[in-house]
Structure 1
Amino acid sequence: MSDYPALSQSTLQRLQDCPRLFQVEALELSGRWFQHDLRQRLEWGRRFHRLMQQQALGIPIDQLQTGDRSLDQCLADFAAAQPQLFALPPASWHRQTECRWQWPFQDFVLVAIFDRLELSDRAAQIHDWKTHNRPQTLETLTATWQTQLYCWLVTERSGLPPEAVSMHYWFVRSQPQQPVTIHWNQQQHQQTQQQLEKSLQEFKGWLQAYPETSLPQRPDRLQRCQTCEERDRCWPNPDLTLAIASWDEIPVVEL
């Protein structure tokens, strides 16, 4: 059993974006970040994912009415635009919904939770339901750790060649007619493995040095830092720092 935490795509993305904020959220505030996938989803999004899971179990659409007009209409529009997603898959395909896959790697356990995963002996299709109103570009989505980790993990665990794996992002509230589709390939697979090895070795070193040494922070006061609610922990006011011997003297307010 690894002494290091299980890592999701959200954790990897936070470590890439800001290691010090990861420290605050995950290491100082009772592991809040490790529950990010569950705690950060808005209620509307959680309910939509639940409906898609129930539909995949065979419950007809007309029996999934929630009383929330926007949610019911969104589900109906999505079913009308993409009926193949609501039909039973061909016999040669195996469909899994809201499934969790784990894979040991570099002393960690990598975790992926798929909204829908469809597998055959020749291909794998990952489907992800996005419930916010701001569609992202192909380039942006390809660069995220969600795409990289999910496609890499499916390729490794299934034994399929990278070219047989694809990921489909469905922005169900704004453009249900067409997904943003990413076709995985050997070059992306190798690059992701190299980045995983580098990132996890780096993270392991940070954890071994913590708490004597804090995780690194951004080298300058970027705009993201200015708007971050935890910025005073990373960039304390010099006058305030003189008055406080340790951050431990400040009581933590449980949310």
Structure 2
Amino acid sequence: MLPTSTQILRLSQGHLNLLAACPRKFQHSYLEQLNTPLDPKHEEYQILGSRFHLLMQQREMGLPINNLLQADPQLQNWMTDFSKIAPEIFITNIDNQTFRESEHYRTLQIGDYLLTVIYDLLIADQNQAQILDWKTYPQPPKSETLAQNWQTRLYMYVMAETSNYLLENISMTYWFVQSKGQTKKIKFLYNEKEHQKTAEELDQLLNNLTKWIKDYEYNISLPQIKESQKICESCQYAVRCQRQKIKQVNIDINQQFPSLENIAEVSL
């Protein structure tokens, strides 16, 4: 996964979030491609989310979706609620001056990195560009947290860098379709201040990655975060990084082996 003279690294918003959160975890997940079992509940959410995204994509393309809805009452309820709250999204018979595309793909190359974004739905005309994203997990994050997420920042940044739209005419809206039984949205407007901040922090992050990759070629691992941040305990690489708590290991051992008092005596 290391860049060569003929290869560059593709980075998505997920990679940037991972790199910013913990460079060592980025190393294990992306550079070394170490796979770990998914939590069953998390996997269930992923499958459900993928099905909803596919449903919205097929609807936007004009393909029939009735069979999919009839086969899944939950998806049908989400779609019904969504269409009532945001009917404008479901109007596809628009004029020729408005561009709409589901799963819209864009790239922006910066040095040895190709930044990639996929918009769930892009609605754009001569004056403004609206980026829409569907979320299917039940509890939306705080707006402040979502604003700092690299998905929000990278998606609008790439649109600004690859188009002629004024920054204030670029927006991104997250739609949470199962937020405690009712669809909710969080919308962000872009501006010059946010664009410059993203550019500076993105430049710093990529410069750090370039240095870390050069070190990695000489068997120097990417940096670890401070243990005081207390996020290592829930990380799937905690043991590999030697960050698993000794107390937790002892508990696991005690759960696997009964105490001596409870072991029946064996006659010889």
How high is the TM-score relative to the length of structure 1? 0.84
Asked if the contact 2:107/2:117 (under 8 Å) is kept, the reply is yes
- Inter-CA distance 30–234: structure 2 relative to 1 (3 Å threshold): closer
1:139 equivalenced with 2:163 (yes/no): no
Q: Match for residue 244 of structure 1?
A: none
Separation of aligned partners in 1, 2:127 and 2:93: 15
Matches within 5 A, 1:1-255: 3-29=7-33, 42-59=46-63, 62=66, 64-88=68-92, 90-91=94-95, 92-174=97-179, 177-211=183-217, 212-235=219-242
Residue 64 of structure 1: how far off its partner (Å) = 4.2
CA contact (8 A) 1:14 1:22 kept: yes
Match of 1:247 in 2: none
How many angstroms does 1:180 deviate by? 0.4
Q: Say whether the 8 Å CA contact 2:10–2:115 is kept in structure 1.
A: yes
Equivalent residues of 1:19, 1:216 under 8 A apart: yes
Q: Distance in 2 between matches of 1:234 and 1:60?
A: 49
Identity %: 34
- Which residue type is aligned with residue 188 of structure 1? E
- Structure 2 unpaired stretches of 5+: 37-42, 247-268
Q: CA deviation at 1:225?
A: 0.6
> In 1, distance between residues paired with 2:132 and 2:150?
15
Alpha-carbon RMSD: 2.4
Give the count of matched residue pairs. Answer: 233
Query: Does the 8 A contact of 2:8 with 2:112 survive in 1?
Result: yes
CA distance in 2, matches of 1:177, 1:45: 14
Q: For residues 26-59 of structure 1, what are the alpha-carbon distances to aligned partners after superposition, in whole Å with 9 as ceiling and x for unaligned?
A: 1223589xxxxxx997111000000000110124
Q: Return the offset for 1:60.
A: 5.7
The 1:87–1:112 alpha-carbon spacing in structure 2 relative to 1, beyond 3 Å, is same
State how far apart, in whole Å, the 1-side matches of 2:193 and 2:120 are. Answer: 25
- Aligned partner of 1:217: which letter? Q
CA-to-aligned-CA distance 1:80-110 (integer Å, 9 cap, x gap): 2211111116322100101211111122100
Structure 1 residues 50 and 66: CA distance shift in structure 2, 3 A = farther
Counterparts in 2 of 1:236 and 1:224: CA distance versus 1, 3 Å: closer
Q: Report the TM-score, using the length of structure 2 for normalisation.
A: 0.80
CA distance, structure 2, for counterparts of residue 134 and residue 78 of structure 1: 16
